[in-house]
Amino acid sequence: MSMMDAVATPRPVMGLYDAPMWDSIKAGAMQLQRCGACENWLYPPGPACPRCLSCDLVWTPVSGRGRILSWVKFHRHYLPAYPPPYNAIAVRLEEGPSMISNLEGAMPEEGCIGRAVTLVYATMPDGMVLPRWAYPG
Amino acid sequence: MKHPNPRNKRAAAVVGIGHTDWVADWARCRAGERPNDSYGYGIAALRNALADAKINRDEIDGLIAGPTTAYERLGELTGINPRWGGQADAVLAVSQAVMAIEAGYAEVVALVYGNDQRSVGTQYGGPEAMGGGAFLSYVYHSPWGFTSQGALYALTLQSYKQARGFTEAEMGEVSVAQRGWSSLNPNAIMRKPITIEDYMASHYVCEPLHLFDYCLINDGGVAIIIAEAERAKRMTDKPVYIEGIGRFDLNARATSLEPRIDDFYLPAQRAAAEQSYAVAGLGPKDMDVLQVYDSFSVHVPLALEGYGYCGIGEAGRFLRESRIGPGGALPTNTSGGHLSETYMQGWAHQIECVRQVRGEGGARQVEGARHVHYTSDVAGKCFSVIYGA
């Protein structure tokens, strides 16, 4: 199946501040905004630091280390690109913010909350690159 | 407690309630009909509320439209030219009516809600999911397949289970108890009793949430008439006072859902509880009935802990031992709630509060109910409203 025929991955919300993050993901090195004044990290991207309201934000690569905060398993077919069963996890990045993503290479299971995960870049059938997470090693 | 305003205490009272025939409309929608649009449902409910209040429409001088109908069009269709008005969800509408009355902007406020979500196929998940304009978290995570309101609460329940040692069977107690109540309610859409075994055997939609943890999606309308307290006394023998209201919102890091999956809304619930209890001069021990906004069953254990009905980490035991169903220590969602009666986005909970205080609950009436507590935590906007005789 060519990329042209592949089921489309749901498009990200693309506000005024989101594009640099998705460009960095496509390049395989995810960046988030970091506050130049108080060093707070932002996710999702935005116009100002919620902690100190500074607009001095610097796109900075993340370490790619995080821990699982919670997880779910979808049993219903909501989206064409996602036939069930599939998982979603909430990950706390080492930098502070948390994000919703997927666990690659395994299904999450009882007791996985708190486990360390590392950032991986998954290329979807339509060519879109998604930041996902996997157990290290 | 910071500055609870005692002027809010019993400043206003509910003098009329009305709703549509959820059971009949459910059958018609399932047969492919569209019995009404959102305005039609709201107006049908308003007619019933005016009849219940025994007042003429001309006595209404304030109008609040629910979130699913446009305010001006609703005013046009109901022929109401108010001196004060607005648009709000259920609990915000109650709170705004009390504020307007207390400030002298209106004396008799009609709160009108109609929703044709079933017959028009409103989507709460998937490619056409609603709500993105108001809540970024509803749409932001769809590239990862993460969609639907249920998924947000499934993620909450999973981390709550881990943090508190809460079990799947304990979660099941909520839908079993509420079905126990709805089996006593002729207005409830789902009335067949279920057991914990039925719950455990039911399929997952977004694991760990089972089918029975999800609200219904149905058409209908609700209307409530709230009047200034002195006027309310002249209008009815059974005014139901709003004893106190508290609110606190958790917005920080809301898109990545941290107020839910990290905090379980607890700081906001505690702050809202404290305000409402301080204004009303009441506490959880004074409440005869609890009504919890239950788009998903997991709201209930969070509310039991957050509003002080049990200690932190004790909701599971409370559900098993003290119980919230018929005959239990804390009758909760006595109509069956969103899970089993009707999904009116918190509006039907308000009229169930009123019925219980009036003693009009029929087979499900809680004997001698004087104080009924409503709580909601929709997207971290935590509200606590106490209704009293």
pLDDT tens by residue, B178-225: 999 999 999 999 999 999 999 999 999 999 999 999 999 999 999 999
**Residue range B129-155: mean pLDDT, rounded:** 90
Contact check, Cβ <8 Å, A98/B148: no
Tell me the shortest Cα–Cα distance from B2 to chain A, in angstroms: 24
Q: Which of residues 232-291 of B touch A (CB under 8 A)?
A: 252-253, 255-258, 261-262
Distance of alpha carbon A12 from alpha carbon A24, whole angstroms? 14
pLDDT for position B132: 66
Among A69, A98, A102, beta carbon nearest to B145: A102
Residue linked to tokens 């505690």: B270
B381: tokens are: 């906007």
pLDDT for position B128: 79
With b for 16 or more beta-carbon neighbours within 10 A and e for fewer, the B302-315 pattern comes to bbbbbbbbbeeebb
**Residue range B109-123: mean pLDDT, rounded:** 95
Tell me the shortest Cα–Cα distance from B296 to chain A, in angstroms: 15
Closest CA to B115 of B48, B26, B16: B26
B51 against B7, higher pLDDT: B51
Beta bridge partners of B223: B18, B112
Instruction: Report whether pLDDT(B3) > 70.
Output: no
Distance of alpha carbon B259 from alpha carbon B251, whole angstroms? 8
Q: What is the DSSP letter of A106?
A: S
Distance of alpha carbon B89 from alpha carbon B80, whole angstroms? 19
Q: What is the mean pLDDT of each run of 10 residues along chain A (137 residues)?
A: 79 95 98 98 98 98 98 97 98 98 97 97 97 96
Distance of alpha carbon B160 from alpha carbon B95, whole angstroms? 30
Distance of alpha carbon A25 from alpha carbon B18, whole angstroms? 53
**Residue range B141-169: mean pLDDT, rounded:** 97
Contact check, Cβ <8 Å, B144/A98: no
Instruction: Report whether pLDDT(B230) > 60.
Output: yes
pLDDT for position B129: 79
CB pairs under 8 A between A and B: 107
Contact check, Cβ <8 Å, A100/B144: yes
DSSP string, B199-266: HHHSPEEEETEEGGGBPP---EEEEEEEEEHHHHHHH-S--EEEEEEEEEE--TTTTTTHHHHTTTTH
Q: pTM of the full predicted structure?
A: 0.96
**Residue range B73-102: mean pLDDT, rounded:** 97
| B245-296 confidence digits (pLDDT tens) | 999 999 999 999 999 999 999 999 999 999 999 999 999 999 999 999 999 9
Beta bridge partners of B214: B296
Q: Which residues of A touch B257 (CB under 8 A)?
A: 90, 98, 100
Closest CA to A61 of A131, A127, A135: A131
Instruction: Report whether pLDDT(B319) > 60.
Output: yes
Chain A touched by B127 (CB under 8 Å): yes
Alpha helices by DSSP H, listed for A36-106, are none
Among B145, B158, B205, beta carbon nearest to A70: B158
Distance of alpha carbon A53 from alpha carbon A49, whole angstroms? 5
Cβ contact B180:B193 at 8 Å: yes
B260: tokens are: 């839910």
Instruction: Report whether pLDDT(B1) > 60.
Output: no
Among A13, A78, A99, beta carbon nearest to B147: A78
Chain A touched by B340 (CB under 8 Å): no
- Please give the share of chain B, as a percent, with pLDDT higher than 90: 93
pLDDT for position A5: 79
Region at B338 (left for phi over 0; alpha for psi -120 to 50; beta for the rest): alpha
| B119-137 confidence digits (pLDDT tens) | 999 888 888 777 667 789 9
Q: Which of residues 58-117 of A touch B (CB under 8 A)?
A: 69-76, 78-82, 86, 88, 90, 97-102, 113
- Please give the share of chain A, as a percent, with pLDDT higher than 70: 97
Contact check, Cβ <8 Å, A97/B256: yes
Contact check, Cβ <8 Å, A90/B255: no
pLDDT for position B4: 62
Among B139, B146, B258, beta carbon nearest to A98: B258
Instruction: Report whether pLDDT(B2) > 90.
Output: no
pLDDT for position A2: 62
pLDDT for position A77: 96
pLDDT for position B134: 79
Give B231: exposed, middle or buried? Use CB within 10 Å, 0-12, 13-18, 19+. middle
Closest CA to B357 of B273, B243, B275: B243
**Residue range B54-72: mean pLDDT, rounded:** 97
Own/partner pairs for B324-329, CB < 8 Å, 24+ apart? B324/B173, B324/B174, B324/B177, B324/B290, B324/B300, B325/B176, B325/B177, B325/B178, B325/B180, B325/B181, B326/B177, B326/B180, B326/B181, B326/B184, B326/B364, B328/B177
Among A12, A50, A74, beta carbon nearest to B143: A12
Chain B touched by A136 (CB under 8 Å): no
Tell me the shortest Cα–Cα distance from B20 to chain A, in angstroms: 31
Q: Which residues of B touch A134 (CB under 8 A)?
A: none
Chain A touched by B151 (CB under 8 Å): yes
A29: tokens are: 């090195």
List all residues 6 or more positions away from A19 whose beta carbon is below 8 Å from its beta carbon: none
